[in-house]
Amino acid sequence: MNIVIGSDHGGYELKCVLAEYLKSLNHSVYDAGTNSREACDYPDFAFKVAEYVASGQAAFGIMVDGAGIGSAMCANRVPGVLAATCNELFVTRNAREHNNANVMCLGSQAVGVGLAKKLVDVFLETKFEGGRHQKRVDKITAYSGGGAPSPQQLIATIVERVMAALGRSSSGAAAQPETACGSTGLICEDHIKNNCAEGSTLIVKKGTLITSLALDMARKKGITVSYQ
């Protein structure tokens, strides 16, 4: 299973322990940072974890800060993400069974290593019950303006990235070197970093969501963002 994990400085040590634990269970783990105990801001890494999940690159995300609350608030700002503070076994199981949470946020000052591992196990092993709970989850995603990208949207994004790497557009024509077109779905930071040249134009098509980190990356690279 693909899992993304991140933390701020307060959760750095627990994050490292959990990352190794997940690898020992044969999960594929992407570490979104931070990479040291140097003071940093948890929103930067919570957004990155959430966007990684929303883009379909990871099935679940884990974010560790001091209490697990601020990171959950941040992650829930990203369309397609349902994040929960999971510092207790019952709450963690409920977050999956009833709420279909795909990002768990842990507080390094609230749980020890042993409990954290148990919480991770419960979160990853517990299935969403669906049924009456699906209707309630649908109301959450509808109010926030959407849910996770559909499989068709994710496929379109993958095709676009492959074509961009080959120097061609998804229609088969040679790609314009100064223009990067976003397919319907979600444009995240990695898309800007890997597919958009400095000084180019990013065309954001109708129905496409572009994350805040992607916009920041575009500004840094001098990319013009054009909405269609």
Q: How confident is the model over 13-35, as pLDDT tens digits? A: 999 999 999 999 999 999 999 99
Give the active site residue among 9, 98, 133, 191: 98
Query: Cβ neighbours of residue 222 under 8 Å, at least 6 residues apart?
Result: 198, 199
Using CA atoms, how far residue 224 sits from 83, 115, 144, 149, 196, in Å, is 32, 47, 27, 24, 10
Does residue 71 sit in the same domain as residue 23?
A: yes
According to the model, what pLDDT value does residue 111 have? 98
For residue 200, what pLDDT band results from cuts at 50, 70 and 90? confident
Asked which of 126, 143, 160 is the last residue of a domain, the reply is 143
Pairing state between β 224-227 and 83-85:
unpaired
For residue 145, what pLDDT band results from cuts at 50, 70 and 90? low
Q: What is the pTM of this model?
A: 0.68
Does residue 22 sit in the same domain as residue 126?
A: yes
According to the model, what pLDDT value does residue 168 have? 57
Q: Is the pLDDT of residue 228 over 90?
A: no
Residue 121: give its domain's CATH number: 3.40.1400.10
Q: Is the pLDDT of residue 176 over 90?
A: no
Spatial distance between the Cα atoms of 167 and 48, rounded to a whole number of angstroms: 27
**In the chain, what percentage of residues exceed pLDDT 70?**
80
Does residue 125 sit in the same domain as residue 34?
A: yes
Residue 173, domain extent: 151-227
6 near 75, Cβ under 8 Å?
A: no
Does residue 75 sit in the same domain as residue 15?
A: yes
Does residue 164 sit in the same domain as residue 220?
A: yes
H or E element that contains 172: none
Name the more confident of 118 and 168: 118
Spatial distance between the Cα atoms of 154 and 184, rounded to a whole number of angstroms: 9
Does residue 130 sit in the same domain as residue 184?
A: no
**In the chain, what percentage of residues exceed pLDDT 90?**
58
Does residue 97 sit in the same domain as residue 179?
A: no
Does residue 40 sit in the same domain as residue 127?
A: yes
- 191 is annotated as an active-site residue: no
Q: Is the pLDDT of residue 172 over 70?
A: no
According to the model, what pLDDT value does residue 179 have? 47
Asked which of 90, 119, 143 is the last residue of a domain, the reply is 143
Asked which of 108, 143, 178 is the last residue of a domain, the reply is 143
Does residue 165 sit in the same domain as residue 86?
A: no
Question: Among 5-9, 93-97, 161-165, 176-180, which is the least confidently predicted range?
Answer: 176-180
According to the model, what pLDDT value does residue 185 have? 63
Does residue 130 sit in the same domain as residue 208?
A: no
Does residue 133 sit in the same domain as residue 156?
A: no
Phi-psi region of 112 (alpha: psi -120 to 50; beta: other; left: phi over 0): beta
According to the model, what pLDDT value does residue 206 have? 66
**Count of domains forming the chain:** 2
Q: Is the pLDDT of residue 6 over 70?
A: yes
